[in-house]
Chains A and B, each alone.
Chain A
């Protein structure tokens, strides 16, 4: 095996590994959506509103602390926190129905940006691995 073949194999292996680590939906995001910026980025009022919206709509699956529930992923994970605002907004709009993530397109666009602002305000949490929550959002 030549060194060129070996290098190509390593590069390919790293690429595949990185690709596997990346959530599959991120690869579907068009570039125009990926680079969109959040009009509410860092605004305390919007983050507070996003927190309320998150509790209403998102906590049922991702947990009240956004650490994930069961197989539903943590939103404090590096994969999510390193995603751009535009990528998360795209996911909220389109969902990932085959994987159980519904579309939230029925929420107005400003409300979805507020949720993005809240999610990005969480930062990397202690657990990127989903944890089982005992406290529920069921009422």
Chain B
């Protein structure tokens, strides 16, 4: 049990650090071309040398549980044109309970093929170190269900899961549409648990294909809309769509020129294992060309 204590001790300090970092970097904003999905990944890679900050918020009120607000700070850096790396710091506040830091993730995405193809594959590898109190729901795998959201923070923070997560990301572009599918697998490194599986898929499109000559904020080309479907696929011991949760929701994004991207989505639970409605809200902003050798030509 002692190995879990540091997480509990640094919880409040780290949660404050997430908020502080967010406040510090809010004025540094630039436009990014990133897609509007919350769970699904497309073949988008961060431009080399750019650092993207995203504050991911998720709120929900599970039946028989307390309402919660999860906040995750995502730092995404384009190392190369074919390699993007990210760090996540997550925390959450649960009503009638407490505010805690729930863990971190380190993610890498690799694009193996140069050029554009009908289907563009991307490989994703992530190491997670998050407690059971994590409510960021960045993906659904295995038999994840609404009952996971009913744990008190004291119960959830006492166990930390270290796991390896891999995804195969497939993405296509057609007539302005983005169509992306993710196949997810996750392995708990702490215990000999079975491999867990999940899926996510999304479609999106800008509201206007061509830009206008005059600068504007609320013109159609700055908006994109789409939909997202994601859920679990069980484990190697029990593969399938049952005994896990699934969500579906529309998504809309506003890309403010020289400003942040703002994205919103209500996700509706599709079965009894899902929370009723989850509200997702992202604000992202990009710092351009830092830490970079400018070695491209």
Interface of B is mostly: loop
Q: Is residue A27 contacting chain B, with contact meaning CB distance below 8 A? A: no
- Taking the closest CB of chain B, its distance from the CB of A121, in whole angstroms, is 13
Interface residue tally for chain A (C-beta within 8 Å): 42
Question: Contact check: which of B48, B116, B221, B258 meets A100 at CB < 8 Å?
Answer: B48
Question: Contact check: which of B28, B35, B44, B175 meets A138 at CB < 8 Å?
Answer: B28
Q: Is residue A102 contacting chain B, with contact meaning CB distance below 8 A? A: yes
Q: Is residue B179 contacting chain A, with contact meaning CB distance below 8 A? A: no
Query: Which listed segment binds B: A3-11, A14-22, A54-62, A80-88?
Result: A54-62
CB nearest neighbor in B for A97: B81
- Taking the closest CB of chain A, its distance from the CB of B100, in whole angstroms, is 34
- Taking the closest CB of chain A, its distance from the CB of B206, in whole angstroms, is 6
Task: Say yes or no: A111 contacts B210, CB within 8 Å.
Answer: yes
Docked Cα-Cα span, A52 to B44, in Å, equals 21
Chain B residues positioned under 8 Å from A104 (CB to CB): 33
Question: Contact check: which of B209, B257, B290 meets A56 at CB < 8 Å?
Answer: B257
Docked Cα-Cα span, A45 to B211, in Å, equals 9
For B111, B178, B210, which residue has the most chain A Cβ atoms within 10 angstroms?
B210
Docked Cα-Cα span, A107 to B173, in Å, equals 10
Interface residue tally for chain B (C-beta within 8 Å): 46
Task: Say yes or no: B82 contacts A60, CB within 8 Å.
Answer: no
Chain B residues positioned under 8 Å from A71 (CB to CB): 294-297
Q: Is residue A93 contacting chain B, with contact meaning CB distance below 8 A? A: yes
CB nearest neighbor in B for A73: B297
Chain A residues positioned under 8 Å from B289 (CB to CB): 60-61, 69, 136-138
- Taking the closest CB of chain B, its distance from the CB of A126, in whole angstroms, is 20
Chain B residues positioned under 8 Å from A111 (CB to CB): 209-211, 221
Chain B, residues 173-208, CB within 8 Å of chain A (1/0): the string is 101101000000000000000000000000000101
CB nearest neighbor in B for A71: B297
Task: Say yes or no: A49 contacts B294, CB within 8 Å.
Answer: no
Question: Contact check: which of B47, B81, B214 meets A60 at CB < 8 Å?
Answer: B47
Q: Provided the pairs A52-B211, A108-B206, A138-B288 are in contact, do residues A94 and B116 lie with their beta carbons within 8 angstroms?
A: yes
Docked Cα-Cα span, A53 to B44, in Å, equals 18
Give 15 pairs: A residue, B residue, CB < 8 Å, sorted on A: A49-B213, A52-B215, A60-B50, A61-B296, A71-B296, A99-B297, A100-B80, A101-B296, A106-B33, A108-B208, A111-B221, A136-B288, A137-B289, A138-B289, A138-B290
Q: B residues 1-45 with Cβ under 8 Å of A?
A: 27-31, 33, 35, 42, 44-45
Docked Cα-Cα span, A56 to B222, in Å, equals 12
Q: A residues 41-78 with Cβ under 8 Å of B?
A: 44-46, 48-50, 52-53, 56-57, 60-61, 69-73
Chain A residues positioned under 8 Å from B44 (CB to CB): 106
Q: Is residue A110 contacting chain B, with contact meaning CB distance below 8 A? A: yes
